[in-house]
A = this chain, B = another copy of it.
Amino acid sequence: MRLPHIPFAEELDIALIGVPFDSGTTYRPGARFGPRNIRVQSAMIRPWNPVLKVDPFARWRIADFGDLSINPLSIEDTYQRIVDQLGKILQAGTRTVCVGGDHSILLPILRAIHKHFGQVAFVQFDAHGDTWGGYFGSPHSHGTPVKYAVEEGLIEQGYALQVGLRGQVYSERDFDFAHEHGIQIVTSEEFHRDGAEAARRHIKKFANRPVYVTLDIDVVDPAFAPGTGTPQVGGLSSAQILEAVRALRGLNLVGCDLVEVSPPYDSGEITSLLAANLLYELICLF
């Protein structure tokens, strides 16, 4: 978005923050280069949003904060680094827009958000629920952050919504966690049938609460976003995800992220281009 690089949180209302970490990936890696490629593809983003009727850059001081320091060789060390660095930014009164990286970074982000804002309502655009447990004896991966966020009480009970889930799972029991913890689900099939209205009815009650939004690019169909780690067919189109994000307008957004853009699997940079536009739309929600 041709934004200046300003690594000083106190000078910013909203900070775009790269988190180039993908060592939580269990299938196709590469999301560590997400921030780099999304920056490049954001070059043609202009300020005025004709749908939401807003120019976020005129309204807020927004800049590219740069990348967080992470450790590609250790999830645990990276988690601690993210919590620490985000904590400082949030304390400066700056809202954070994190750009992954794989979805495992959601957990430390939510920990930092929780420390600053308390429990939040939660909207997740994703093909997968990410409520699985450990893997290979390691507790954390890109398939587990929502499980831990719920169990650690980072998300307010009854105020979690997942949009775009689809595809095979291991067993019928895979949805037990969501049911037991009151997570609402709008599947891709429901979205294809009912449009953004399918999501709108659930988020009405989120009004007046602090809301955190996480967007896994694999919520979009591989035709529109091939560059991702675990692509899943039957997803949303680019027009549908734009509509879905815009449906959140009016909520009290306290932070957001966009994850799982994996440039080595992209075709013609269309995934990074879509991600750059979705980041712009997310910023317009503040």
A157 contacts B by Cβ under 8 Å? no
**B169:A25 contact, CB within 8 angstroms:** no
Q: Is the interface of A mostly helix, strand, loop or mixed?
A: loop
- How many copies of this kind of chain does the complex include? 6
**B222:A274 contact, CB within 8 angstroms:** yes
**B268:A168 contact, CB within 8 angstroms:** no
**B242:A138 contact, CB within 8 angstroms:** no
Nearest B-chain residue to A27, judged by Cβ? B44
**A140:B270 contact, CB within 8 angstroms:** no
Partner of A268, one of B45, B48, B175, B227: B227
Hey, which chain B residues are within 8 Å of A49, CB to CB? 168
Partner of A136, one of B71, B238, B239: B71
The interface stretch among A10-18, A28-36, A117-125, A208-216 is: A28-36
**B140:A233 contact, CB within 8 angstroms:** no
**B230:A44 contact, CB within 8 angstroms:** yes
A222 to B49, CA, bound (A): 19
**How far apart are A79's CB and chain B's nearest CB, in angstroms?**
12
Partner of A233, one of B5, B27, B169, B277: B277
A226 to B49, CA, bound (A): 23
A residues 41-78 touching B (CB-CB < 8 Å)? 44-51, 53, 55, 71-75, 77
**B26:A223 contact, CB within 8 angstroms:** no
Hey, which chain B residues are within 8 Å of A189, CB to CB? 51, 239, 243
**A136:B77 contact, CB within 8 angstroms:** yes
A55 to B238, CA, bound (A): 31
Hey, which chain B residues are within 8 Å of A48, CB to CB? 168-172, 174
**B141:A73 contact, CB within 8 angstroms:** yes
Contact status of A50 and B168, CB under 8 A, knowing A22-B29, A77-B136, A231-B270 = yes
The interface stretch among A83-91, A108-116, A249-257, A259-267 is: A259-267
A92 contacts B by Cβ under 8 Å? no
When A and B form their complex, which 8 residue pairs have the shortest distance between CB atoms, in order from nearest? A73-B138, A29-B29, A264-B264, A226-B268, A46-B168, A71-B136, A233-B238, A223-B224
Chain A residues with CB under 8 Å of chain B are 5, 22-30, 32-33, 36, 40, 44-51, 53, 55, 71-75, 77, 135-138, 140-141, 166-172, 174-175, 187-189, 192, 221-224, 226-227, 230-231, 233-235, 237-239, 242-243, 264-268, 270, 273-274, 277, 280
Other than A29-B32, A48-B172, A233-B238, give 6 A-B pairs with Cβ distance below 8 A: A50-B169, A189-B239, A222-B238, A226-B270, A233-B273, A235-B239
